[in-house]
């Protein structure tokens, strides 16, 4: 896949899946604006990626509408166009449904849904003016398809993102903008590797015998925002080694 002369924004990309998406985009010719809430993490990640391609750190709160508009405008001002937007920023706040707090509920909605919605809005309003449109990708999750305990609010937001992608087919297809969603399953990242026995547990219950690597998710993301996938829109692609087909629960979850 060739992303030469493409300009991309990826949010929540200081590490993990987002970082690998940025790295592969840059390595394949794109100019990438790498966003993360953590300024040090964003700058360090962009510096690493610069060894392989063009990447600029753009730290800030990807759930803040004013910041979202600033980031999109900065891409247009600097490069004249914006071709790819990947709304990857999100948070997971576990909690029992019976006692889940309003604060946690609205924070998850604000970041996972609000940030993605308004990034897509700001980006698509620029892409509409471009002869070749653009590509938008949301990051969902397998829990948008299969229930797991203590993730009611998070799972709700991920399922909602998939419906948003479908709805935007009506709004954006005539402007040559395709919108899709990727739904990762258990993935080995800096965060998940801190959890006790994460790799062993998910290897045991994943039909393919292991959790995903970040490269599994990133390679799929790149395909969905590539020219090769331009006729694919409104779809959600699960990348989970077959877990949702059997839905075996991790040990300790009932």
Catalytic residue IDs: 154
For 96, counting Cβ atoms within 10 Å of its Cβ (0-12 exposed, 13-18 middle, 19+ buried), the class is: exposed
Question: d(Cα 152, Cα 143) in Å, to the nearest integer?
Answer: 9
For 16, counting Cβ atoms within 10 Å of its Cβ (0-12 exposed, 13-18 middle, 19+ buried), the class is: buried
| Residue with the two structure tokens 């985009």 | 25
77: Cβ contacts below 8 Å, ≥ 6 apart? none
Structure tokens, 108 = 């998850």
Q: Cα–chain-centroid distance for residue 43? A: 19
97: Cβ contacts below 8 Å, ≥ 6 apart? 150, 152
Closest CA to 60 of 126, 119, 120, 11: 11
The answer to whether the CB of 22 falls within 8 A of the CB of 55 is: yes
Question: d(Cα 54, Cα 172) in Å, to the nearest integer?
Answer: 28
The answer to whether the CB of 136 falls within 8 A of the CB of 87 is: yes
Please spell the DSSP secondary structure of 163-198, one letter per residue. Answer: HHHHHHHHHHGGGTEEEEEEEE-SEE-TTGGGSTTH
């Amino acid at each position: 896949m060739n992303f030469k002369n493409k300009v991309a924004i990826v949010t929540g990309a200081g590490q993990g899946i987002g970082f690998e998406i940025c790295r592969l985009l840059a390595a394949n010719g794109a100019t990438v604006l790498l966003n993360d809430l953590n300024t040090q993490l964003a700058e360090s990640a962009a510096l690493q990626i610069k060894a392989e391609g063009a990447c600029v750190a753009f730290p800030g709160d990807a759930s803040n509408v004013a910041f979202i508009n600033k980031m999109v405008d900065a891409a247009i001002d600097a490069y004249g166009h914006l071709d790819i937007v990947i709304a990857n920023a999100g948070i997971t706040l576990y909690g029992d449904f019976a006692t889940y707090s309003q604060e946690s509920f609205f924070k998850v909605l604000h970041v996972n849904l609000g940030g993605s919605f308004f990034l897509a809005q700001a980006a698509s309003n620029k892409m509409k003016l471009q002869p070749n449109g653009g590509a938008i990708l949301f990051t969902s999750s397998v829990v948008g398809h299969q229930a797991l305990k203590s993730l009611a609010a998070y799972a709700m937001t991920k399922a909602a993102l998939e419906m948003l992608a479908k709805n935007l087919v009506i709004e954006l297809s005539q402007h040559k903008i395709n919108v899709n969603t990727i739904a990762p399953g258990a993935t080995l990242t800096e965060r998940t590797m801190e959890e006790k026995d994460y790799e062993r547990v998910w290897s045991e219950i994943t039909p393919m015998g292991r959790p995903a690597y970040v490269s599994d998710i990133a390679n799929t993301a790149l395909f969905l925002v590539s020219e090769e996938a331009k006729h694919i829109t409104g779809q959600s692609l699960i990348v989970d080694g077959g877990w949702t087909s059997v839905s075996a629960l991790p040990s300790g979850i009932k």
